[in-house]
Chains A and B, each alone.
Chain A
């Protein structure tokens, strides 16, 4: 390894440009092989083993990618600039190839020569980070998790050997909290920058600062064509390089009239495509888990009804809360014809868009591009051409303008950014959005009244969770129930664990009822977790009890990670005696300590009003309460067919005035029924105190 390092060291520092280009040309860019002389390039320099046949096969294919034609140009621009913007249309191969080019050309040895620095390539989606890194590991003929790895929330698949790491943008942001100058990286590649996720936008502002302080760090911003000039202006006028996409023509179809029901229209269109169109797979964009599952089921059914006149289909759902292993199913091939010479099969993938709202022109364009990646394609837009021209806004709002920023503000604070007003956001959020975030963090005690990060806030920022949940975890030892709160937090961080197959709904509901805790859904989740552990984490037991095994396995993993963070801050792991009547009371109180801003009060009219902002909400039908409690905490507020609060637990009014009097401060409380109830509770508390005093 030592000699190899020396050779790499010489690449950029000693050898002049022309010979680099010559070398690149000579070695034909064969992965890391360029580190060796010509006769030796059948040996993989990463593993020291000869390249496999598969490697060579893939290499030939890689060389046909458009991005390969500009490899030298790219390396030149990279060498002479700290930042560069690479605009690559869909199908240019930039996501898989650029990081490998960088790895070949850039010296990654750390100054102390004891370790290697890394190349990071961010992805907005977990599944992309996983799948792309797997693919690249294959292309480099190495094992995933060794030289090439990935890191996503609650799952780190990398090692000391790792030199190229694909990670979600959120993970890179997290790493910056402990490594503010991101010193473990030599080159950072922000991929899919046009998606403008919250984490990518924060990374933009952060990296601009880091680049000033680390002249040796390089940044590559990769984006689809959208808004490339905007990026250029933002990144100090960095050079812009364009890579043509290998885009086959895509024919675009519109509907004659606006659709009454887009889901129905999507299903109808898919079935029609399957019946009439030549072989090729279908990608359907929908808005969420429920809709995707619904569509998958209906498409399967409709195709089944058509019988032998059409080929078989493989309908695959893909959404963020789907367990990663199931997400990988999208890479399965289309099913073969049912019999010899039968009609070819087709794969239909139903994916989730990041946003439930009308699409922008730019995103619509981006999506249609997906149809032409491997062959000429067709794009069916379920709206009219007139709508496209008149109703759609040109660009999608970046996430930072649409999101709750409590977590982001906490992260920024932890990163040492105190002036949020003048922080160099590419698209600064509205003042109100930041005010709301600051308010929440102050009430949680993460920020003091001067806006400084408190000790509590620092610990909270270490948890990759919402601030409310972090707070609940940090204070749980005070309520003598941190073990239980850890389990509940883990269960809330994974997809819904209850399985309810259409054909066995009743049995599923009965199974769920067996776990049910009358005081709330959080406690029901705890019951499920306990039962899972008591049954030795058995997959069969899960199946029999209509519980999603993968979700529970994931929860167990999340819990372990959280335990590690707790241990790092010496937070005690403890439980109240299960036979004590305080067992569940302590848990509910601890939850309230984190979620006191997510409380709803039952009004005399029979519906719930959220505290302070007085929104009318309804208990989600999935709740397992046997009564309508006067006060509840809720985990989420969802706007679907109605305004629902989902995952709710009964709490007592007395606890509100005991645990969160600063929030339930009557001077700062709008007139409402809840206020009058609280007034009585405060009076009662006063009286009790008086009595206690007198007794003494």
Chain B
């Protein structure tokens, strides 16, 4: 996401992504929009809409956001500092050890105490239970949204990929079928080799076949005919001496096997 967001900041790429999102199903984009949306302060999340928002914000709002962001950074640092472990060289550590403390163990008559102090949670707002600090909540919301967006894009890309792949595949089928057909014709009418005529015929055939729509099954049929009747493999590109030679030398019946 970070990558795409960076791309999104310059030029056409951004439009491309923007367009893409328009094709997202309505329900996916709805809830975040309906929520009270303030400009984002999260670097990893779509910068473009935020930027647009910033332009409409007055300086007071900007200052407030900046303050919020700084406060947030400060709080994270505070928590990191609080959670920093006490080194073994610390006099408190040494004194406790002298009392019989085994590093890593818990305290109490049966050693049943807590291993770590109860964590601290910094709440900067009067948000009620079940509702997080607005800053935190906003961040969470943004994360969820970014995640959703990412997944949407991924699935879209995937869909696009499969569509492309299947298109390419069906085109391949047609190409292969044509080749096979040509080979078969060649093998069946060795005497009447008239390249020009053949080409004409082929073109006609092609047209007919295209109209008929060549499926993978058609391709399969013609390939099998070639193999069984003429010991010819289209993908090996040669006619084998015997059926045994074909079976032992040709890696398989499909193009992928080659």
A425 on interface, CB distance cutoff 8 Å: yes
A402 on interface, CB distance cutoff 8 Å: yes
Chain A residues in 8 Å Cβ range of B94: 449
Contact of A430 among B84, B91, B114 (CB under 8 A): B114
Identify the stretch in A12-20, A386-394, A557-565, A679-687 within 8 Å (CB) of chain B at 4 or more residues.
A386-394
Contact A430 B117 (CB under 8 A): yes
Q: How far is the CB of A83 from chain B (nearest CB, A)?
A: 17
Contact B86 A435 (CB under 8 A): yes
B129 on interface, CB distance cutoff 8 Å: yes
Contact B108 A432 (CB under 8 A): no
Chain B residues in 8 Å Cβ range of A435: 86, 90, 92-93, 95-96
Output the nearest chain A residue to B100 by Cβ-Cβ distance.
A421
Cα separation A643 to B85 with both chains bound (whole Å): 21
Cα separation A396 to B78 with both chains bound (whole Å): 24
Contact A428 B112 (CB under 8 A): yes
Contact B78 A431 (CB under 8 A): no
Output the nearest chain A residue to B84 by Cβ-Cβ distance.
A613
Identify the stretch in A32-40, A106-114, A437-445 within 8 Å (CB) of chain B at 4 or more residues.
A437-445
Q: Interface 1/0s, chain A 566-608, versus B by CB < 8 A?
A: 0000000000000000000000000000000000000000000
Contact of B108 among A356, A424, A613, A668 (CB under 8 A): A424
Q: How far is the CB of B177 from chain A (nearest CB, A)?
A: 61
B81 on interface, CB distance cutoff 8 Å: yes
Output the nearest chain B residue to A291 by Cβ-Cβ distance.
B126
B130 on interface, CB distance cutoff 8 Å: yes
Contact B128 A421 (CB under 8 A): no
Residues 62-102 of B contacting A (Cβ, < 8 Å) = 71, 74, 77-78, 81, 84-86, 89-96, 98-101
Contact A439 B90 (CB under 8 A): yes
Contact B121 A428 (CB under 8 A): no
Contact B122 A421 (CB under 8 A): no
Residue picked from B89, B94, B114, most chain A C-beta under 10 Å? B114
Cα separation A255 to B106 with both chains bound (whole Å): 41
Residues 194-216 of B contacting A (Cβ, < 8 Å) = none
A533 on interface, CB distance cutoff 8 Å: no
Chain B residues in 8 Å Cβ range of A391: 129-130
Residues 390-441 of A contacting B (Cβ, < 8 Å) = 391-392, 397, 401-402, 418-425, 427-440
Contact A420 B117 (CB under 8 A): no
Residues 105-158 of B contacting A (Cβ, < 8 Å) = 105-109, 112-118, 121-131, 134
Chain B residues in 8 Å Cβ range of A401: 114, 117-118
Number of interface residues of B (CB under 8 A): 44
Chain B residues in 8 Å Cβ range of A424: 108-109
Output the nearest chain B residue to A614 by Cβ-Cβ distance.
B81
Chain A residues in 8 Å Cβ range of B131: 258-260
Identify the stretch in A2-10, A69-77, A261-269 within 8 Å (CB) of chain B at 4 or more residues.
A261-269
Contact B92 A450 (CB under 8 A): no
Contact A615 B114 (CB under 8 A): no
Contact B130 A615 (CB under 8 A): no
A639 on interface, CB distance cutoff 8 Å: yes
Chain A residues in 8 Å Cβ range of B130: 258, 383-384, 386-387, 391
Contact B108 A433 (CB under 8 A): no
Contact A447 B95 (CB under 8 A): yes
Contact A616 B93 (CB under 8 A): no
Q: A427-B113, A430-B116, A442-B91 are in contact. Are A262 and B126 (CB under 8 A)?
A: yes
Cα separation A259 to B127 with both chains bound (whole Å): 6
Output the nearest chain B residue to A427 by Cβ-Cβ distance.
B113
A641 on interface, CB distance cutoff 8 Å: yes
Contact of A421 among B101, B114, B117 (CB under 8 A): B101
Contact A359 B117 (CB under 8 A): no
Contact A434 B129 (CB under 8 A): no
Q: Interface 1/0s, chain A 620-651, versus B by CB < 8 A?
A: 00000000000000000001011100000000
Residue picked from A423, A429, A437, most chain B C-beta under 10 Å? A429
Contact B107 A418 (CB under 8 A): no
Cα separation A433 to B77 with both chains bound (whole Å): 20
Q: A258-B128, A259-B127, A387-B129 are in contact. Are A439 and B92 (CB under 8 A)?
A: yes
Q: Interface 1/0s, chain A 358-398, versus B by CB < 8 A?
A: 11000000000000000000000011101100011000010
Output the nearest chain B residue to A440 by Cβ-Cβ distance.
B92
A80 on interface, CB distance cutoff 8 Å: no
Q: A261-B127, A436-B86 are in contact. Are A431 and B118 (CB under 8 A)?
A: no
Q: How far is the CB of B132 from chain A (nearest CB, A)?
A: 9
Output the nearest chain B residue to A385 by Cβ-Cβ distance.
B130
Contact of B96 among A259, A386, A420, A449 (CB under 8 A): A420
Give chain B's interface residues, CB within 8 Å of chain A: 71, 74, 77-78, 81, 84-86, 89-96, 98-101, 105-109, 112-118, 121-131, 134
30 A–B contacts from the bound complex (CB under 8 Å):
A258-B129, A259-B128, A259-B129, A260-B128, A261-B126, A262-B128, A265-B128, A357-B121, A358-B129, A382-B128, A383-B130, A387-B130, A391-B129, A392-B129, A421-B101, A422-B108, A425-B107, A427-B113, A428-B106, A428-B112, A430-B116, A431-B105, A431-B113, A434-B92, A438-B95, A442-B91, A449-B95, A451-B98, A614-B81, A642-B74
Give chain A's interface residues, CB within 8 Å of chain B: 255, 258-265, 356-359, 382-384, 386-387, 391-392, 397, 401-402, 418-425, 427-440, 442-443, 447, 449-451, 613-616, 639, 641-643, 668
Q: Which 7 A-B pairs have the closest CB atoms?
A: A428-B113, A259-B128, A439-B92, A428-B108, A387-B130, A435-B92, A258-B131
Q: Other than the known A422-B107, A430-B106, A442-B91, what 15 A-B pairs have Cβ atoms closer than 8 Å?
A: A255-B128, A258-B130, A260-B128, A261-B128, A359-B129, A382-B129, A391-B129, A397-B118, A402-B118, A427-B113, A433-B117, A438-B96, A449-B94, A451-B95, A643-B78
